[in-house]
Structure 1
């Protein structure tokens, strides 16, 4: 089980919590006609957020195996993150061991890039 958080394009989401949660349920059916790994399918603001985020939490599907072999203290491995990229969302799955850092980093970068933030695994807060 992972620690999950999501960022989203605020322009494409409902303003009230009930409607947002219904929209979220639709988004996480993963029904868009693309592979959910290609960053260019999402909005420019979410692309910029992603570029900053992977500096702290590398995309587990893009990390070189040699780097992992050299990661003696497992620092890199513990920060590897799964990113699912939609038209209006980026859904992330972290190791629980980095949950606090993931939460604060994502929230800070969401503010920086003007995107919304949803605490999927925590209290369900929507910012």
Structure 2
């Protein structure tokens, strides 16, 4: 099981429509890329900062799990207007705090998918 965080373009969806939109994005043909090049510049900037602290175990920037040491394994998937971050539960609290801080810096929104789905918008 993983703890999931959605980072997205704030103008892409309202809080009320987020759940349905997320399902559409993740199940869509373009919704599960491991390549950050498919998303917006602001979301790529978020990812560039985030993956320095939570290295990916998938995609073009992946690191071997042996290299992670005490860091939680983190998966990233990308869509045109979102980054989906999955981290092990033992790293969830730090990942959420880090994601929310970095998201505000890059003016993107965050949803705590694995908790209550609450949204933090810039």
TM-score (norm 2): 0.87
Higher Rg: 1
Name the CA distance, whole Å, in 2 between partners of 1:97 and 1:116. Answer: 23
Say whether 1:39 aligns with 2:36. Answer: yes
Would the aligned equivalents of 2:78 and 2:84 in 1 still touch at CA under 8 Å? yes
1:100 counterpart (93, 99, 104): 93
Runs (4 or more) in structure 1 with deviation over 6 Å come to: none
More helix as a share of residues: 1
Name the CA distance, whole Å, in 1 between partners of 2:81 and 2:106. Answer: 14
Deviation at 1:123, TM superposition (A): 1.5
RMSD of Structure 2 on Structure 1 (CA): 1.7
Unaligned regions of 5+ residues in structure 2, if any? none
More strand as a share of residues: 2
1:18-37 maps to which residues of 2 (within 5 A)?
Answer: 18-32=16-30, 36-37=33-34
